[in-house]
């Protein structure tokens, strides 16, 4: 699997957009970018994923650069409950193929009042 690089921590003011970057310069053509987060003492939660086009859902937006070597997760209006560790993961395939997730250290996002 391609490896990812994320900043270890970030702060964001409540109500502002949180932009979490991820570098995945060795990503392969068939690998997707997945984002998960883990709120303290809970299991990880799926947020969003994409291949090359930008994606948006009710939780967040995902912006992938044209060369696919980096991406940004955007939480448009961060709340205190968005305080969590955010993981950017690349993995092959977008199917039920049973590829386990390779969690790195992630970015610890602190949303402040």
Partner 1 sequence: SAVISQKPSRDICQRGTSLTIQCQVDSQVTMMFWYRQQPGQSLTLIATANQGSEATYESGFVIDKFPISRPNLTFSTLTVSNMSPEDSSIYLCSVEDHRGRQFFGPGTRLTVL
Give the footprint of partner 1 on this chain (CB under 8 A).
Answer: 32, 34, 36, 41-46, 49, 87, 91, 93-106
From the CB of 28, what's the least distance to partner 1, in Å?
15
Closest separation in Å from C-beta 41 to partner 1: 8
- Output 41 or 113, the one with its CB closest to partner 1: 41
- Distance, in Å, from the CA atom of 38 to the CA atom of 30, rounded to the nearest integer, reads 26
Question: What span, in angstroms and rounded, lies between the C-alpha atoms of 103 and 30?
Answer: 19
Radius of gyration in angstroms for the set of CA atoms belonging to the chain, rounded to a whole number: 13
- Beta strand 45-50 pairing with 31-38: antiparallel
Q: Residue 93 CB, nearest distance to partner 1 (Å)?
A: 6
């Amino acid at each position: 699997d391609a490896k990812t690089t994320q900043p270890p921590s970030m702060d964001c003011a409540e109500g502002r957009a949180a932009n979490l970057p991820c570098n995945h310069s060795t990503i392969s053509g068939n690998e997707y970018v997945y984002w998960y987060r883990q709120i303290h003492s809970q299991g990880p939660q799926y947020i969003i994923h994409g291949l090359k086009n930008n994606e948006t859902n009710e939780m967040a937006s995902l912006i992938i650069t044209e060369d696919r070597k980096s991406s940004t997760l955007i939480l448009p209006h961060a709340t205190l409950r968005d305080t969590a560790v955010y993981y950017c993961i690349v993995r092959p395939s977008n199917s039920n193929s049973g590829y386990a997730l390779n969690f790195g250290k992630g970015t610890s996002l602190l949303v402040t009042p």
